[in-house]
Amino acid sequence: MSNLRAAITAVGHYAPEKILSNADLEKMVDTNDEWIVTRTGIRERRILENGATSDMAAAAVRDLLANRGIGPDEIDLIILTTVTPDMFFPTTAVLVQEKIGAKNAWGFDMTAACSGFLFALTTGAKFIETGTHKKVVVVGSDKMSSITDYTDRANCILFGDAAGAVLLEPSDDPGYGIIDQSQYSDGSGAPFLYMLGGGSLNPPTHETVDKKMHYIYQDGKAVFKIAVVKMAEAAAEIMKRNRLTCDDVDWLVPHQANLRIINATAQRMGLDPSKVMINIDRYGNTTTASIPVCLSEWWKAGKLKKGHRVVISVFGAGYTWGAALIRWSF
Residue ranges binding ligand UT7 (CB under 6 A): 31, 35, 39-40, 114, 153-154, 157, 220-221, 223-224, 227, 257-258, 261, 285, 315-316
Q: Which residue is nearest to ligand UT7 (CB)?
A: 220
User: Among 220, 272, 230, which Cα is nearest to 255's?
Assistant: 230
Q: How far is the CB of 12 from ligand UT7 (least distance, A)?
A: 22
- Catalytically annotated residue among 255, 258, 263, 294: 255
d(CA 251, CA 276): 6
Please report how close the Cβ of residue 325 comes to ligand UT7 at its closest, in angstroms.
22
Q: Which is nearer to ligand UT7, 40 or 141 (CB)?
A: 40
Q: Residue 330 Cβ, how far from ligand UT7 at the closest point, in Å?
A: 29
Q: Are 288 and 314 in contact (CB under 8 A)?
A: no
Options 22, 155, 258, 285, the catalytic residue: 285
By C-beta, is 102 or 291 nearer to ligand UT7? 291
Q: Which is nearer to ligand UT7, 35 or 108 (CB)?
A: 35
State the Cα angle at 60 between 285 and 250, rounded to 5°.
65
For residue 320, the minimal CB distance to ligand UT7 (Å) is 9
Question: Of 54 and 258, which CB lies nearer to ligand UT7 in the complex structure?
Answer: 258
CB of 243 to ligand UT7, least distance (A): 29
Reading across the β-sheet that carries 136-143, which strands appear in turn?
Answer: 6-14, 161-170, 136-143, 77-81, 106-110
Of 13, 114, 133, 258, the catalytic one is 114
Name the residue among 61, 67, 28, 65 with its Cα closest to residue 45: 28
Per DSSP (E only), the strands in the chain are 6-14, 18-21, 44-47, 77-81, 106-110, 136-143, 161-170, 177-185, 193-194, 217-218, 251-254, 309-316, 320-327
* Complex with ligand UT7: residue 82 or 329, whichever CB lies closer: 82
Clarify whether 285 is annotated catalytic. Answer: yes
13 is catalytic: no
Rounded distance between C-alpha atoms, residue 261 and residue 296, angstroms = 22
Annotated catalytic residues are 114, 255, 285
